[in-house]
């Protein structure tokens, strides 16, 4: 598998994102536009970035100081666990409250209270698990 959040990994993630109707189509219904970064808590900057317009991922690759709507951080072990097993709503709450999933940018509380966003957010972890080398 390509390194987690590398350019190749992010490109594959973009492809999988756009194939998943519970993600791309659900977010298109609410005209979701966002720049989402992914990375690790011990780094100053995120590693990878996904740009979403009207629910569809339109670009992906390494982070290059773009302004962010979301910056999600977790250890490689936690990312891997969530990709393999999914996370679910309860697991997401526990990961956030326990500091295992950090939102350096973005409003977790607003997102989780909106089922139109929370469901696709949960689904994004399952989609990450579909990324293959």
Averaged pLDDT, 48-72: 97
CB atoms within 10 A of CB 71: 19
pLDDT of residue 82: 93
CATH of the domain at 51: 3.30.1050.10
Is residue 2 very low, low, confident or very high in pLDDT (cuts 50, 70, 90)?
Answer: low
For the beta carbon of residue 39, count every other beta carbon within 10 angstroms. 22
- Does some domain include residue 109? yes
Judge whether 1 lies within some domain: no
The percentage of the chain sitting over the pLDDT mark of 70, rounded to a whole number, equals 98
The predicted structure's pLDDT at residue 115: 86
Mean pLDDT calculated for residue range 54-67: 97
Where residue 114 falls among pLDDT bands split at 50, 70, 90? confident
- What is the rounded CA–CA span in Å between residue 54 and residue 57? 8
Mean pLDDT of the chain: 92
> C-alpha angle with apex 15: 87 to 13, nearest 5 degrees?
40
d(CA 84, CA 87): 9
Which pTM does this prediction carry? 0.92
Residue 2 belongs to some domain of the structure: no
Asked, for residue 49, whether it belongs to a domain, the answer is yes
111: in domain:
yes
Residue 23: inside a domain: yes
Can you give the residue range of the structural domain that contains 55? 7-128
The residues facing 61 across adjacent strands are 49
User: When comparing pLDDT for 89 and 17, which is higher?
Assistant: 17
Q: With 60 as the cut, is the pLDDT of residue 46 above it? A: yes
Q: In which band, very low, low, confident or very high, does the pLDDT at 1 lie, cut at 50, 70 and 90?
A: very low
Nearest-CA neighbor of 121 among 89, 79, 77?
89
* 69 within some domain: yes
Query: How far out from the chain centre does Cα 53 lie?
Result: 14
% pLDDT > 90, the chain: 79
- Secondary structure of residue 36 in the 3-state scheme: strand
Cα gap 127→18, rounded to integer Å: 10
Q: What is the number of domains present in the chain?
A: 1
């Amino acid at each position: 598998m390509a390194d987690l959040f590398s350019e190749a990994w992010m490109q594959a993630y973009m492809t999988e994102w756009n194939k998943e109707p519970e993600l791309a189509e659900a977010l298109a219904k609410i005209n979701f536009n966002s720049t989402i970064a992914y990375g690790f808590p011990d780094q100053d900057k995120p590693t990878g970035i996904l740009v979403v317009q009207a629910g569809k991922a339109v670009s992906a690759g390494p982070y290059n100081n773009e302004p962010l709507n979301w910056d999600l951080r977790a250890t490689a072990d936690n990312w891997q666990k969530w990709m393999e097993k999914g996370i679910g709503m309860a697991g997401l709450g526990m990961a956030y409250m326990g500091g295992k999933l950090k939102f350096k940018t973005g409003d977790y509380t607003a997102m989780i209270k909106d089922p139109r966003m929370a469901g696709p957010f949960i689904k994004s972890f399952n989609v990450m698990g579909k990324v293959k080398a």
